[in-house]
Amino acid sequence: MDTIEIAQPLLYGPRTLSETLAFLLANPGSQLIAGGTSRAAEAPVAVTLHLLDDLKRITSGDRSLDVGATAPLSALLSLPDTQIPVVLKEAIRTIGTSGLRNLATVGGNLCQKGTFGDLFPVLLLLGAQLELRGQRSSRWVSFQDLAEQGRLSLAAGELLTKIRLPLEQPGLHFYQKIGSYRTSWEEKLSMVCLASPKDGLLSRFRLVFSLPQLGLLRSRELEAELTGRRLPLPRQERDASLARLADFLAELPILPSVFQTERILHLSRWVLTRLDDD
Amino acid sequence: MKVQLILNGDDLALSGGPRDSLFAVLQQRAGLFPERVCCEQGDCGRCHILLDGKEVPSCLIPFFQVREQEVVSPEGFQNTEEYRQFRALLEEEGLVHCTECTEVQIFHLFSFLEQFPQADAEECRLAIGEIPCRCGSKPVLERGARRWLASRPWPVVGREVPRGHH
Ligand SMILES: Cc1cc2nc3c(=O)[nH]c(=O)nc-3n(C[C@H](O)[C@H](O)[C@H](O)COP(=O)(O)OP(=O)(O)OC[C@H]3O[C@@H](n4cnc5c(N)ncnc54)[C@H](O)[C@@H]3O)c2cc1C
Ligand code: FES
Ligand code: FES
């Protein structure tokens, strides 16, 4: 392992995963730096992951894609569309600039403190899983479990090492982000929708919104209600679904801002109309 | 702290603090990025460099991270044949030099096209829009990008990843 500096902060640059995990176990308060773009709080001891080549690797299996946690976002954009769900590429393109995406990592996006990075809702709907490793443990966690817990919590000494996502392309996908990284929370949200129309029926429908102050918003009732419906959806059915969505939003313990509520309803209407078109 | 690196082709050691960004050290110790108004937050693209061939914002890179790596700044790129060719093509499309952002735009667009030779018109447009510009150079750059990509000998469809057993 390289010790990069002796003064504060102590910066460590391990070259293998086992060195990293041993170091994290012995120094539980240390700050991990992947791409370093989120400029997380500065701790007296920092560990940079940029020398761990194994953790940058992307490999493709028959039905899934394994993405090393420190793969830069741009590495996923370079893959042909047959090797990655296109909706994930669309979400990545909205993050920062092309230069930033060469630095920012997939794992760093998912492990940001206090917020779900923009890739989280997309990976959730795609049915992805995370590999978390400690020196004496290794576990796979689904994004679904994390969404239910409301955050990604790592045990002391644990590292996100890999993201595994199924390679199946949804029939239709919609991704929209409103506001940018620096927009205030009241005017920011993103939406991911995956849908599969088959033989005139909506065989699968998943819709999630991500709001900075609330995390993920997903109405299972709406999804269940629309799944199996015949397409095109008659206008009254569409309006009734949107009315129920409005009720769902109004009953949340923490309310979205007026701007966010309007956009959620507007985007949902847009998606339901597009299902009819396609 | 002293860090050994290759800067614009020269092997050298630069000194900086452990919390300094690469941008701060390049500006203060290597005389690069003179008098440029920069955001130092990863937004404006005016501090971009190539780090081992990839364009990155130097304001977000901890200085220590470039140890033994190769860094090329826009100043270094301007001494290459590729720069001369690309600039000549943009001038044919009507590029007007502006001290504010022309060099930054050329460096950024060329790096982007090298990394994403399969980029479509919309992706090029988005990449060009990443550098704030008041002079309206975007149409020129968009035309230049299209011509540069069209002049490549064959289309590139993306980089296949190795197959593993999951
Ligand atoms: C200009 C700008 C625009 C941005 N735009 C967006 C945006 O649109 N959407 C968005 O979601 N984000 C955005 N970001 C935030 C950030 O850049 C990205 O989320 C990025 O993907 C973070 O990755 P990183 O590798 O730089 O993470 P880092 O900053 O290195 O790390 C982030 C956090 O995760 C922890 N961490 C990193 N890797 C691991 C790991 N493998 N295991 C455990 N913990 C880990 C770190 O300790 C730290 O707390 C933006 C940032 C900037 C500067
Ligand atoms: S100074 Fe603006 S992106 Fe680095
Ligand atoms: S060309 Fe003048 S600001 Fe961009």
The domain spans of chain A are 10-48, 53-166, 172-272
Q: How confident is the model at residue B13 (pLDDT cuts 50, 70, 90)?
A: very high
Q: Is the pLDDT of residue A1 over 60?
A: no
Minimum distance, in Å, between the CA of residue A192 and any CA atom of chain B: 20
pLDDT in tens, A210-243: 999 889 999 999 999 999 999 999 999 999 999 9
DSSP state of A16: S
Q: Which of A62, A65, A103 sits opposite B56 (nearest CB)?
A: A103
The domain spans of chain B are 2-73, 80-151
Query: Lowest mean pLDDT: which of A74-78, A112-116, B78-82?
Result: A112-116
| pTM for the full predicted model | 0.94
Measured from the CB, is residue B102 less than 6 Å from ligand 3? yes
How far is B77 from A27, CA to CA, in rounded Å?
42
Both tokens assigned to B78: 């301007």
Both tokens assigned to B100: 């504010």
Give the number of the ligand closest to the Cα of residue B138: 3
- Answer whether B110's CB lies under 8 Å from B127's CB: no
How far is A165 from A168, CA to CA, in rounded Å?
9
Beta strands B2-7 and B70-72 are parallel
Q: List CB contacts (< 8 A) between B116 and chain A.
A: 77-78, 98
- DSSP for B11-69 reads EEEEE--TT-BHHHHHHHHS--STT----SSSSS-TTEEEETTEEEEGGGSBGGGGTT-
Q: How confident is the model at residue A66 (pLDDT cuts 50, 70, 90)?
A: very high
Instruction: Report the separation in Å between the CA atom of B48 and the middle of ligand 2, taken as the mean of its atom positions.
Output: 7
Query: Lowest mean pLDDT: which of A28-42, A80-94, A245-259, B47-61?
Result: A28-42
Q: Do B161 and A83 touch (CB under 8 A)?
A: yes
The CATH fold assigned to A53-166 is 3.30.465
Q: How confident is the model at residue B99 (pLDDT cuts 50, 70, 90)?
A: confident
CA-based torsion, B21, B22, B27, B33: positive or negative: negative
DSSP state of A72: B
Output the pLDDT for position A278: 54
How far is B119 from B64, CA to CA, in rounded Å?
33
Q: What is the mean pLDDT of chain A?
A: 92
How far is A258 from A269, CA to CA, in rounded Å?
17
Query: Lowest mean pLDDT: which of A11-20, B121-130, B150-159?
Result: B150-159
Residue A93 contacts B, CB cutoff 8 Å: yes
Report how many helices (DSSP H) and strands (DSSP E) chain A contains, helices first.
10, 13
> Which residues are CB-neighbours of B61 under 8 A, at least 6 positions away?
A36, A103, B21, B22, B23, B51
The more confident residue out of A110 and A40 is A110
> Which residues are CB-neighbours of A128 under 8 A, at least 6 positions away?
A142, A143, A163, A164, A165, A166
**Mean pLDDT in residue range A49-53:** 94
Q: How confident is the model at residue A2 (pLDDT cuts 50, 70, 90)?
A: low
Closest chain B residue to the Cα of A60, Cα to Cα: B163
Ligand 3 atom nearest to CA at B96: 1
Measured from the CB, is residue B47 less than 6 Å from ligand 2? yes
Q: Is the pLDDT of residue A5 over 50?
A: no
Helix (H, G, I), strand (E, B) or coil at B133: coil
**Mean pLDDT in residue range B145-163:** 76
Helix, strand, coil fractions of chain B, as percent rounded to 5: 40, 15, 45
Ligand 2 atom nearest to CA at A99: 3
**Mean pLDDT in residue range B122-136:** 93
How far is A175 from A194, CA to CA, in rounded Å?
9
CATH class of A172-272: alpha beta
Residue A250 contacts B, CB cutoff 8 Å: no
Q: For the structural domain made of B2-73, what CATH number should be given?
A: 3.10.20.30
> Which residues are CB-neighbours of A163 under 8 A, at least 6 positions away?
A66, A67, A69, A106, A107, A110, A123, A128, A129, A130, A131
The more confident residue out of A39 and B39 is B39
Residue B108 contacts A, CB cutoff 8 Å: yes
How far is A170 from A278, CA to CA, in rounded Å?
13
Taking only residues 124 to 163 of chain B, the set having a beta carbon closer than 8 angstroms to any beta carbon of chain A reads 126-127, 130, 157-163
Both tokens assigned to B37: 């108004």
Residue B2 contacts A, CB cutoff 8 Å: no
DSSP state of B163: B
How many CB atoms neighbour CB A235 within 10 A?
11
How far is A91 from A103, CA to CA, in rounded Å?
16
Taking only residues 68 to 97 of chain B, the set having a beta carbon closer than 8 angstroms to any beta carbon of chain A reads none
Of A185, A235, A253, A243, which Cα lies nearest the Cα of A213? A185
**Mean pLDDT in residue range A178-201:** 94
C-alpha of B125 from chain center: 16
- Answer whether A150's CB lies under 8 Å from A217's CB: no
**Mean pLDDT in residue range B110-116:** 96
Instruction: Report the separation in Å between the CA atom of A249 and the middle of ligand 1, taken as the mean of its atom positions.
Output: 29
